[in-house]
Amino acid sequence: MSRSVDVSTNERAYFIEGLKAGIRLNGRRFDEIRYPHNIHLSKEEYGYVELEWGKNKISVRVSSYIRKPFEDRPFEGIFNINCEINSMASAKFENGKNSDEEVLISRIIEKSIRRSNSLDLESLCIIAGEKVWNITVDLNFLNYDGNFIDIGCFGVMLALQHFKKPDISIINGGEDIIVHDINEREPQPLSILHVPVCLTYCFYNITNQQEVNIKGESTSDDIYLLDCDYKEDLLKSGSIIITLNKNREIIQLSKNGGIPIDASLLVDLALGSIKVVDELTDLMKKLIKDHEQQRFDELNLKLLQVGADR
Amino acid sequence: MSIILPGDKFPVSRNHDESIDITLGPGLYKSVNSDTILPVQAGIFQSKPIKKQQQLYYIDSNSRRYIPQTNDYVIGTIVGVVGGESYKVSLQDFSSCVLLSMMAFPNATKKNRPNLQIGQIVYARVSNAGNEIETELECIDPTTGKDGGFGLLDESGYLFSITNLNFTRELLFNSESPVLQKLSTRCKFEIAIGINGKIWIKCGDGLVINKSDVDMDIDESSTNNKNSTTNISSKKDILVTLAAVKYLTACQHKSPDQIDTVLTQSFINI
Amino acid sequence: MTFKVRTSVLDNSDGSAELTTSDVKLIVSITGPIEPKPRQELPNVASLEIVVRPAVGLSTTREKVLEDKLRGMLQAVIVRHLYPRQLIQIIVQIQATPLSKHQGGAYSNHRDEVEYSNVELNAAINGCYFALVDAGIALYSSFASTCISITKPHEINDNQEYIIQPTLDQLNNSSSHHIICFSIEDKKATKLLLIDSLGEFTEEELFTVISKGVEQTELLHENYQRKYISDKIHNDYIWKS
């Protein structure tokens, strides 16, 4: 039994009447996301990121170690994402027990990032069949305010781009390896093939016309909201999660029950998402670049640079 | 302002004057085993004479979790019915629910019961609270037997939460507080404050739901017409209400001299 | 020594604190008193649900041990019979450990981390204090915890040094290290709430460590706890003129 949250009829009425009048209770436009803020990229540790997104708060840590690869995949490194939600985020999540919502969140993030091959696993191979890198992402949800999927995906991708694994040398003709201390040799970033961005749209049937739903026809009155907060999420009558990347590829699409939507609306949503995807990808890129520059300046790495400026 | 931490010495020496009775308020705890008084919460130590020969001591400290106390004014959401006699009422998410007897309404009899639906909210007084018994509410003024302002809070107003419980206490009890006075310069509003951190507010006429909307669902064209007319009249009131909510929520983290700025910011689009 | 605290950092929790020391960073959240599940309910006192989450990987027996030690200690300071049949959830999320920082986060070896879980316990206890105060949970007394290590005997003169809040390098070169947690009443360390030691040491050494622990916890209380809590109270009442 997961703890339930009760919504009063007053809040519901305001929410629905607001939607009819084109107002979201949080003052955003229907297709407006809350942009991440208070982003902290750790200067001491590679791959440690904290960020807030509305009132959502997460911390992500990437770590690595060397292990033997799986028998059937000798050329591939191992990549996994841990995301367990505990009651720190909200008392509605139970400790040590996966609610359907939690499973959905972790599955979608896994599907969007790991199974879309956004991390080049072959580049993680050190000695085929013997030694590969194991990359683990720990995604910790600290505070919940709706839409953990989008924020989780953003956080993981940001942390993966921030992460660097120690440099290695292979010696004795491929028998042994040396893991260089990060202070000895500049560590290597991961090879990321593409950056998936998840966007969740929630649907609302504001007319409450049950009969229409049974017939399977969607009404033009259906309203969708991008990036729902806590309250909007509680009141939703359906949602769709689209994962896209900057190359305009749809990576995954999932719609888990709820009210039916029109096929043409789906195309509109995907097209409408492109702008947001571009913005978020560029934001990640900028954050990483600024951070690198800052580190470069602070550590005076210029002194260590070999080769003349062209 | 004297700040006190758990485990600190009780700042008043007790054998000072034997004739004065001491009343302990929140944050202070008399150990069961010994006769010592312990501060158990961190906050501002307060001492007030209540009657002749009686002194009240308590620690003013902020909390985000509401613990019911007798005579508190609260706003609760109906979440169920218990045994056909009482409503089950939630005062805060995840807290234990409390009971509101169907008899605790003005003029209620076995035959004439209030008809409240799940999800509706009531303004009520905590009539019975204690650790060992189930907390009870009532929607009746015990001195007059009338409603005294308690009862159902209708859907024209919006319900929202304030995390800082002491701030709601301030809003409810401090008539000098500038927060609500300043708000009244911007709009006409009706407000009910529960010290469990819930506030019901209605600006202007609030939300006007045209009842005929629901009945006329079958006839789509006329519904649409109705929609457009109601929207125009109540859209502004919704916006004003939301702005007021934003203002009140922001005020709990602002000092009094910042209130004007917050007010302007909240009402920027109106 | 770095010792930074921010309280009320999480919006959904009733009390929360983020503690950053030179080695460890963690966040503690408290929710409660709330309604327990029937199997957690205790008739005359509040039940505590304590969860410790590691910085890397999933919870293991290591976290269970930390939870158990925390529980033993917190049960002694929380005035539990003020909240009968209620539940208090305490979640400790460790975000950075001496080891993760040491390698710049790039390389982790799970085996090594077991040894220094005590450093995390130390930070967890101090973090819990601020979170509990922030949540307004009744406490019999304040409490503070410190970590002291004893260096390996010096090669020439057999001298051993006591190091307060040792770093990872200092821990690696120590013969033992100890976590000491005292309850603080009226600014004085009174009861020993928890002591946890790892390594080889003599009885005499242990007594020295305890007496140093008294000093350190009192200092911690005086210099940090009072300061951060009066800041917090000031912040809570910012709307008061």
Residue C4 half-sphere exposure, CB side, CA atoms within 13 Å?
6
Share of chain C above pLDDT 90, in %: 72
For A185, other C-beta atoms within 10 Å of its C-beta total 14
| Spans of all domains in chain B | 3-60, 73-153, 158-266
Is A14–B207 a contact, with Cβ atoms under 8 angstroms apart?
Answer: yes
CB within 8 Å of chain A, chain C residues 9-68: 9-13, 27, 29, 31, 34, 37, 49, 51, 53, 55-58
Domain of C96, in residue numbers: 3-236
Structural contact between residues C154 and C102, judged by C-beta atoms closer than 8 angstroms: no
Cβ-based contacts of A14 with chain B (< 8 Å):
158, 207, 238, 241
- CB within 8 Å of A25: residues ≥ 6 apart: A14, A15, A18, A231, A232, B242
Using alpha carbons, select from A9, A86, A82, A40 the residue that is nearest to residue A291: A40
Q: d(Cα C90, Cα C77) in Å, to the nearest integer? A: 14
Cβ-based contacts of C95 with chain A (< 8 Å):
48, 50, 59, 61, 140
Cβ-based contacts of B170 with chain C (< 8 Å):
239-240
Structural contact between residues C140 and C73, judged by C-beta atoms closer than 8 angstroms: no
3-state helix, strand, coil in chain C (%, to 5): 35, 30, 30
Q: Which chains reach chain C with 3 or more Cβ–Cβ distances below 8 angstroms? A: A, B
**Quick check: is C241 in a domain?**
no
Work out how many domains chain C is built from and give that number. 1
Structural contact between residues A108 and A81, judged by C-beta atoms closer than 8 angstroms: no
Q: What is the pLDDT of residue A1?
A: 39
Cβ-based contacts of B77 with chain A (< 8 Å):
6, 8
Cβ-based contacts of C239 with chain B (< 8 Å):
167, 170, 179, 251-256
Mean pLDDT over C170-188 rounds to 92
Q: d(Cα B156, Cα B215) in Å, to the nearest integer? A: 19
Q: Would you state the structure tokens that stand for residue C212, as one six-digit string?
A: 């140093």
| Single-letter amino acid, residue B205 | D
Structural contact between residues B51 and B20, judged by C-beta atoms closer than 8 angstroms: no
Q: Does domain B3-60 have CATH number 2.40.50.100?
A: yes
Q: What is the pLDDT of residue C117?
A: 79
Topology of the domain covering B73-153:
OB fold (Dihydrolipoamide Acetyltransferase, E2P) (2.40.50)
ipTM of the complex model: 0.89
Calculate the alpha carbon distances from A28 to A22, A154, A234, A274, C29 in Å. 10, 20, 17, 19, 29
Structural contact between residues A28 and A111, judged by C-beta atoms closer than 8 angstroms: no
Q: Which residue does chain A place closest to B220, by CA atoms?
A: A207
Question: Which class for A13: exposed (0-12), middle (13-18), buried (19 or more C-beta within 10 A)?
Answer: buried
A13 touches chain B (CB under 8 A): yes
Q: d(Cα B201, Cα B196) in Å, to the nearest integer? A: 15
Does pTM surpass 0.90? yes
**Quick check: is C44 in a domain?**
yes
Give average pLDDT by consecutive 10-residue segment, chain B, 270 residues.
90 70 89 85 91 88 93 95 92 94 90 91 93 90 87 92 93 91 92 95 82 44 46 78 94 92 89
**Quick check: is C90 in a domain?**
yes
β-partners of residue A133 are A66
Using alpha carbons, select from A131, A139, A89 the residue that is nearest to residue A112: A139
Using alpha carbons, select from C2, C232, C12, C20 the residue that is nearest to residue C127: C20
For the structural domain made of B158-266, what CATH number should be given? Answer: 3.30.1370.10
Q: d(Cα C74, Cα C143) in Å, to the nearest integer? A: 10
Using alpha carbons, select from B243, B241, B263, B239 the residue that is nearest to residue B251: B263
Q: Would you state the structure tokens that stand for residue A184, as one six-digit string?
A: 């000895």
A166: closest CA of chain C, how far (Å): 6
**Quick check: is C29 in a domain?**
yes
Under-70 pLDDT residues of chain A? 1-2, 208-221, 301-310
Q: Would you state the structure tokens that stand for residue C166, as one six-digit string?
A: 């040792």
Q: What is the pLDDT of residue C110?
A: 47
Per DSSP, the residues of C73-84 read HHHHHB-GGGST
Q: d(Cα B119, Cα B46) in Å, to the nearest integer? A: 39
Cβ-based contacts of B179 with chain C (< 8 Å):
239
Structural contact between residues C13 and C29, judged by C-beta atoms closer than 8 angstroms: yes
For B100, other C-beta atoms within 10 Å of its C-beta total 25
Fold matches, B3-60 and B73-153: yes
Q: Where are the beta strands (DSSP E) in chain A?
A: 36-41, 48-53, 56-67, 78-84, 125-127, 131-143, 164-165, 168-171, 176-179, 188-189, 197-204, 223-226, 238-244, 250-255
For B107, other C-beta atoms within 10 Å of its C-beta total 10
State the CATH number of the domain containing residue C138. 3.30.230.70
- The second-level CATH assignment, the architecture, of A17-300 is 2-Layer Sandwich (3.30)
Q: d(Cα A279, Cα A276) in Å, to the nearest integer? A: 5
A8 touches chain B (CB under 8 A): yes
**Quick check: is C126 in a domain?**
yes
Q: Report the residue of A2, A4, A14, A16 to disrupt the B interface, i.e. the one with the largest count of B CBs within 10 Å.
A: A14
Instruction: Please name the member of C84, C135, C183 whose beta carbon is closest to the beta carbon of B131.
Output: C84
**Quick check: is C100 in a domain?**
yes
C212: closest CA of chain A, how far (Å): 31
Q: Which residue does chain A place closest to B208, by CA atoms?
A: A17
